Amino acid sequence: MNVMESVQNRFSVRSYLQKSVEPERLQRLLEAARLAPSARNLQEWRFVVVTNEGTRERLMHAAQEQRFVGEAPVVIAACAEDVEHVMPCGQLSHPIDVAIALEHIALQAVDEGLGTCWIGAFDEAQVKEILGIPDEVRVVQLMTVGYPAVAPGPKTRKPLNEIVMYERWGK
């Protein structure tokens, strides 16, 4: 599969088969994240990979009772250790860097026949408590991983001419 095929086939999976993700596939997903770029090459991301059913169930409660979070065979807590670095453009680097690494995971997952879902609806303090994450570390996102139980539906996206301008805003 090429990159564009992975992009086209990626969708937010909220229903998973009750099938474990093979360790070698999971390692390739994590390797994809490891190879992601980051501001100043800080590589501030850290990933807590959760496969234990009881822990996933607790994470489901911390994620606003979203059932699929507990049903997915893998939940990844994507964290950042260095949360102070501000890029010259004025943006904090850690949310962007972690997002890039997670999207590397999402695209590699498609290539592996797996699906993912970004989870931003969660209580960070609860996730930290469940996973033993130190106070100074931020939990940026959760991501579920597993074999999709459903096929993707059609994507509804705005056409390029509504989102792209050339040379100047408004053109």
Q: What's the number of domains the chain is made of?
A: 1
Query: Cβ(16)–Cβ(68) under 8 Å?
Result: yes
Domain assignment present for residue 168? The answer is no
Residue 51's SS3 state is coil
Q: What is the pLDDT of residue 170?
A: 87
Domain assignment present for residue 170? The answer is no
Domain assignment present for residue 171? The answer is no
- Report strand pairing: 45-50 vs 138-146: unpaired
Domain assignment present for residue 100? The answer is yes
- Asked if residue 1 has pLDDT above 70, the reply is no
pLDDT of 3-61, one tens digit each? 999 999 999 999 999 999 999 999 999 999 999 999 999 999 999 999 999 999 999 99
Per-residue pLDDT, averaged over 124-136, amounts to 98
Assessment of whether the complete model's pTM goes beyond 0.85: yes
Residue 1's SS3 state is coil
Q: Which residue has the tokens 């090429």?
A: 2
Cα dihedral value 142, 147, 150, 153, nearest 10: 60
Q: pLDDT band at 135, cuts 50/70/90?
A: very high
Domain assignment present for residue 116? The answer is yes
Query: Cβ(145)–Cβ(16) under 8 Å?
Result: no
End-to-end CA distance of the chain: 35
Domain assignment present for residue 86? The answer is yes
Domain with 142, as residue range(s), is 3-163
Q: What is the token pair recorded at 16?
A: 């998973």
Q: What count of other Cβ atoms lies within 10 Å of the Cβ of residue 83?
A: 15
109 phi and psi, to 5 degrees? -60, -45
Residue 20's SS3 state is coil
Domain assignment present for residue 169? The answer is no
We report the CATH number of the domain holding residue 76 as 3.40.109.10
Per-residue pLDDT, averaged over 103-115, amounts to 97
Q: What is the pLDDT of residue 152?
A: 87
Quote the CA–CA distance of 131 and 17 in Å, as a whole number.
24
In three-state form (DSSP H/G/I as H, E/B as E, the rest C), the secondary structure along 66-103 is CHHHHHCCEEEEEEECCCCCECCCCCEHHHHHHHHHHH
AA identity, residue 117: C
pLDDT of 49-102, one tens digit each? 999 999 999 999 999 999 999 999 999 999 999 999 999 999 999 999 999 999
